[in-house]
Structure 1
C-alpha cells in the first residue's frame, strides 16, 4: 500500500470520526400531548387542562386547545352561585384547582348505592355537573336565567344514617305514586293519609335511592311535587329517570303533582 493510499484512508477515517462526534446526544423525542375535551360545543370547546378555545383552533391530533388561550376562565360565571351562562366556560372555571378539590369530587357518587360509581377525574365531574342543573329549571321546560350551567358540589349527596332514617319512618308506609299523582291521592287510594312532616325525611337522595331507580342521578330541583322521580318518557331537558329533591323545605307539599314525575309519599 502506497503512502498516498494510507494517507487517504486516515483522512477519511478522521472525517467520519468528526461527524460521529458532532452528533448531538441531547436530542429526545417530543412528548405527545393528548387531551379530552367537551366535544359537544358548536363554537367553543374546553379541554381537560382547563383551556377554552373555538372549535377551529383545536389540534386535530391531540384534541387540545392552544396553550396560549384562556385557561381556568370564569367568563360569564357568577362565582357566588357557581353558575355560568356557557357550558364550556363552566367546565373551564370548574377545573381550577382552587374551586374544585379532587379529593372531594372523586367521592361524589353517580346513580343509586347498589350500582354507585364515582367520578374518575375532576374533568368528568366538571363536564357532568355543568351539563345539567335542574335546580335552575322553572318546573316545566324553561330556565330561570341564562346562568344554568353550574358546577357546585351536589348537596344531599353524602351517606345517610339508615338506622336513624328508618327509625324516623316508623309506622310510615312509603308508597311510590303513579305518574302525575299527588301524595294526597296516593295515600287516599291506600286508605291512608299523607303525613306532611315525613316528606322531609324522604326528601334525601340516599332515601329516594332505596325506593326508586334514580337512573338519571339525584338532582336538586324546585317544585311542590318533590321528592319524586322523573318518568322515563319525559322530555329530555327534564332529565328522564332522575330523582328530584328540593332544597326549599317550605315547598314540601302533600297535594303537589307534576305530570312528568312519580312522587315518593309517606302514608299512615
Structure 2
C-alpha cells in the first residue's frame, strides 16, 4: 500500500580481530655512562594482520638518555614475523649506572594505510658505569735526581668508536718539568687499538731521591661524529731515584754542612 515499514528484528554476527600488538625479545644493552651506545634486539608482530612500515622508537623523556635517532625502521612484518633492530642511544655523563626501564613504542601502518602506534612497551637496559676513554700506562716510572729522560706512554682507545686527531699533552710541576717534547699525536686510534707516545721529562735540583711526584696527561680528539672532545686529566706517579753520577744526595750534604758549621762555631767560641 506504499506505507513505509521497518523490520528491526534482524541480527548479524561478527568476529572482531584481536588487537594489533608487538613484543620485544633478545634485547641487549650496549649503553654506558658518558658514551654513545646501542640498544639491540628483536621486534615481533603479535597481531592478527601484517603491519607495514614498522618503526621501533624510543618513547621516553629522560634527559640523561639521548637517542641519536629516535627511531629505526625494520620494514613489513607479517603476523608472527620478527625482525632485528639497532637503536643508537647516548647516555649523558650525569646519568647513574645500573638497570633502567626504557619506554618504547612501535609505529606501523595498517591495511588501510593508516598510521598507528603500539605504545605499551617497556624494556630493561643495563647502563654500564663510566670508564676512562683511554688507558694510560708508563712502564718505567723512575727518573734520576737532577736528570732527564724520555718517557714512553702506552695509550689504548677504550671507546666503542675510532678516535681521530688524538693529541696528548704532558704536564708536570716542580721538581719535575717537561722538556721540549711535551705533546704526542696520532692520526687515528681504532677501538681497542694501542699506540706509544714519547715525551721528555726532567728534574730540578730540589727533587729528592726516594720521593714520588705526579705527572699529568690529557687528550683532545675527534669522535666518530667529528665533534672535538677533551678527556679528564690522567695522573701517573714518577719515582725519583739517586743519580748514578755518584756523590751524596743534596739533603745529606746540607745536613752535613750544618753539622760541620755548628761544630766549627762551638770550637771558635771556646777558643775566644
Give your verdict on TM over 0.5.
Answer: no
Larger CA Rg, structure 1 vs 2: 2
> Larger helix proportion, structure 1 or 2?
1
TM-score band w.r.t. shorter chain: under 0.3
